[in-house]
Amino acid sequence: MQELKDRILKDGQAIGDDIIKVDSFLNHQIDVTLLSAIGKEFRDRFADTDANKILTIEASGIAIACAAAWHMGGIPVVFAKKAAPNTMTDGYYFTEITSFTKRSVSRVIVSKKYLGPEDRVLIIDDFLAHGEAASGLAGLAKQSGAKICGFGAVIEKEFQGGGDKLRGLGYRVESLAVVSSIEDGKIKFSY
């Protein structure tokens, strides 16, 4: 998605050789025009699936998933929470996910009320790096018996291997911007 790549080059920031900071337009402050275009792109790329829900993780994935869901006819978005609220009384699926950026492990949960064997989920997130969040979300979907239609990432850091890991497991992965490397503060794209 050229518009996204141009924006990453213009306003993104490389931190070291493995982190891309895009908080000025994607995951802290959000450019809603770009967000809508991202949602349309996911709709177009996954138009051949029968997804009836989008699964993501709080917090950065929520806005992206909502934009995609809106363009996919308003299908529901379910997001894995990092803490069980007192109102979650019907049971839940859970797993642990290691965050590369935050360098921490979080236990994430989804209510059994919102994810089940009748669901066909598209998993969407802002970044795909080592694949930990994506694999954790896939684990939640599997616990529920839901079918996984594919994975969508706004930015894939190809050099960290998460996308290859998922593809190697037979999953469809669609990334809107694929970063091959970060060298000397410069972000380089695969295509």
101: helix, strand or coil: coil
Helix locations, 77-172, DSSP H: 132-144, 162-168
Q: Is residue 163 scored above 80 in pLDDT?
A: yes
pLDDT (tens digit per residue) in 30-87 = 999 999 999 999 999 999 999 999 999 988 899 999 999 999 999 999 999 987 666 7
**How far apart are alpha carbons 5 and 76 in whole angstroms?**
28
CATH number of 2-189: 3.40.50.2020
pLDDT digits (tens, 9 = 90+) for 73-92: 999 999 999 876 667 667 88
Do 137 and 57 meet the contact criterion of CB atoms below 8 Å apart? yes
Domain range summary for the chain, segments of one domain joined by +:
2-189
Residue 25 has φ and ψ, to the nearest 5°, of -145, -10
